[in-house]
Structures are given as structure tokens and as C-alpha cells.
Amino acid sequence: MADTEELPAGASDMGDSPLHSAVISPTVEPSEQEPDSGEEFEMLHCPGDGDYGDIEGPPPLEDTGEGEKEEGGVMESVSDPPVTPAEEWLDVLGNGQLQKKVLEAGNGSDSRPRKGQNVQIYLKISLANGTTVAEEPNLSFTLGDGDVIQALDLTVQLMEMNEKALVQTSAKYAYGDLGSDAPAVAPDSHLTLEVHLLEVTDTPDLELLTPSERIALAGQKRERGNDHYQRGDYAFAVNSYSIALQVTEASSRVDLSPQEEEELLDVKVKCLNNMAAAQLKLDHHEAALRSCVAVLAHQPDNIKALFRQGKVLALQGECAEAIMILKRALKLEPGNKTIHAELSKLVKKHSEQKGMEQAMYKKMLGNPSSGSVQKQQAKSSWGVTWKLLFGATAVAIGGVALSVVIAARN
């Protein structure tokens, strides 16, 4: 397949620390490991029961500013918590699953980092039994971008510059039910995090980044999206791909060479393709269709975009159009057995639907019954008989009249 996208090993926008590559390091089936690589195609279906929702854009990562708590979102949000004594635990989300305790006060609330800023922290991760599984003296990430586990994204927003804190988190805001290979964290593990906020800086202006910096940053955010996709965190994946797209699409005050423009476009197309895959997983069909259309605007013969466009159209009931799109994809890559198999299934399904529709129309319009046909035939038969009888009578009468005339003359 064209446009193969291997997930990089250990690449990250935050350095080469094992923590970064393992923040989302799942154990999944091989077919689900790469969102847009090889011949990983999803099954096509015509629309079935139920309607599906849609999103206008990627779901934002929520912070701990003012807002309502919402269980079903990407990240939960709470109102700015009240100041508490250093020895007390703060229930960050109000559900008892994420708690923060100040060990050493910082420089005041005005020094707290804001979502979108770059932060650098000291981090030590321990299991519930006290075993230390990871220690990172200088961990850097962009706050709120989903680059680290949610427990860090949510609690660091509440820390002051130079503050030291202890964080206790359930698996929900750490490594979930998949756990992690590095650091070695078993599934559904509660963790204790020791955090020291060392530095807060504004993110660089995208317009002022050099072409190589933009390409690297966009690629790193795309890789983060791939990591989320591997874990089945599709909403987070969409968010990371969206951030990468913002980097590729930002205006630049630095001239780009044709080769650099091509590299940025390559990252953009991969992000759009992978975003479409994640949106399909979320049943966000209209959003997925827009992503596919955006890919095809740059690369009209992109096989993966054509396949996913056909899938979306089939799910929306546009089976005839979906068949046309898949035929085009198969023409571009005749040896692709996956496309061929799915096209055959869709054609068969569409043919069955047309047959059912025709039968329904005939039933609605009604068909002449055999009884009515017989009555019509009988009516026609009687008509012919009476016509013949009338004609014979007329001939007989005419013959008698002629005989009378001849007799009178004689």
C-alpha cells in the first residue's frame, strides 16, 4: 500500500526518555497497532440500526479552570479549587480518584502555568506498594496537549512555580486498564506521583519556527496521536492530530523550500488520514468524510482516503456512490484483496436492497390479478359472440326481404 506510516519507536516531542514513549504504550492486537499503515482497512457496512453523532472538530483537552464536571468527556474539568493547608489532600475532580497534596509551597497562584504553555518538572512514579518504577529529573511537555497521562495534565495546572506536590491517582487518569511496559505498570494500577514544577515558558510562535522545527513538531504531535490511537483513546488521538495540523497549516514568516513544503504536506496528509480513521472509530461520520475529502484535495489517488470515504458513504446510506468510490480505489490498486472483498460485499448488499425496494414498489402500486384477467377475457369472448350473432341475423333478414321483392315482381 502507498502512504505506509510506521509508528516511530520512541520518538517524542519531549525527548528520548522512556517515560514519553511509554505514556501510552499499549498491548494490542497487531491489526490495530497502526492507524494508517499497510492494509489495515475497516469493514464496510450499509447503514443499520441507529443514527450516529458527529463532531465539528476535535474534542479539546479540558483544564481545571471554571467549568462543569462531565464524566463522558475527554478529560474532566472542575472549578478552580479553594486554597487548602499544605497538609491537606485536594480532591481535584471531586470523585476521589485524583488527589493532590502540597509538600512545599511555590511562588504563589499567579505563577501557575496555563494550558498551552511548556512546563518542565521533576517526576517520580511509585506503585501503591511504594516501589519506584520511573524517575525523570527534567520532564518537558506542553500543558493540555495530551502529551502525558491525564493525572499530570490536570494537576500541574494547579501547581505554583517551584512547588513540590504529591499526587495520588487511580488507573483512570494514569495508564488505565492496559497498563504500561515502560515504566512497568500493571493494568488498573493506582499510582503515587512526586512532582516538582521547575520551569514554565510560553510555547514558541509557530510563524517564527524554522521549517525543520515545524516539520519536527508536527511529526511529533502526529506520533503522539498514533500512540493514543493504539490505546483506543480515539478522542485524544483526534486532538493530537488536530494540533499537528495546526502546525502544518500555520502561516510562516520564514521561507520554505519546495522540499520542505512537500515534507509538511506529507505530515498533513498522514494526520488527516489517521484522523479519519480515529473519527470512524468514534462514529463521527461527517467529520471523517471531511478529513477524507481534505486528503483527496491534495492527493486525489490516495487509496486509504478513497477507501475510508467509501466506508463513510456506505454507512450514510449512499451505497451507490460508495461503490463508485471503491471501484476507483480498486482500479488504482487492482491487487488489493481487502478493497476487492469489501466492494463485492457492498455490491451484493446494494443489489439485495434494490430487489427489496422493487418488490415494495410493486406491492404499493398493485398487480392485476389472474381473476381480473379471466374476467376481461370472458368479457371479450361474449362481445365477439354477440357481434357474430347480430351479423348472422342481419344476413338472414336481408335474405328474406330479397325473396319477397323477387316474388312480387313475378
Domain chopping of the chain, boundaries: 66-203, 208-363, 378-410
Predicted pLDDT at 360:
76
Which of 310, 305, 339 is CA-nearest to residue 325? 310
Predicted pLDDT at 252:
84
Q: How far, in Å, CA of 280 to CA of 40, rounded?
A: 13
Which of 113, 125, 157, 121 is CA-nearest to residue 140? 121
Q: How far, in Å, CA of 135 to CA of 2, rounded?
A: 40
Predicted pLDDT at 364:
79
Q: How many CB atoms neighbour CB 183 within 10 A?
A: 21
- Quick check: 45 and 57 in contact, CB under 8 A? no
Backbone angles phi, psi at 335, to 5 degrees: -85, 0
Which CATH superfamily includes the segment(s) 208-363? Tetratricopeptide repeat domain (1.25.40.10)
Radius of gyration over every alpha carbon of the chain, rounded to an integer in angstroms: 36
- How many residues can be counted in the chain? 410
Predicted pLDDT at 388:
55
Q: How many CB atoms neighbour CB 249 within 10 A?
A: 11
Backbone angles phi, psi at 131, to 5 degrees: -70, 125
Whether this model's pTM surpasses 0.75: no
Q: How many CB atoms neighbour CB 213 within 10 A?
A: 14
CATH 3.40.50.12280, applies to 66-203: no
Q: If the chain, 410 residues long, is cut into consecutive pieces of 10 residues, what is the mean pLDDT of each piece?
A: 41 44 39 46 43 37 39 47 64 96 96 96 96 96 94 97 98 94 94 98 92 94 94 95 95 89 95 97 97 97 96 91 94 91 84 69 65 53 54 58 54
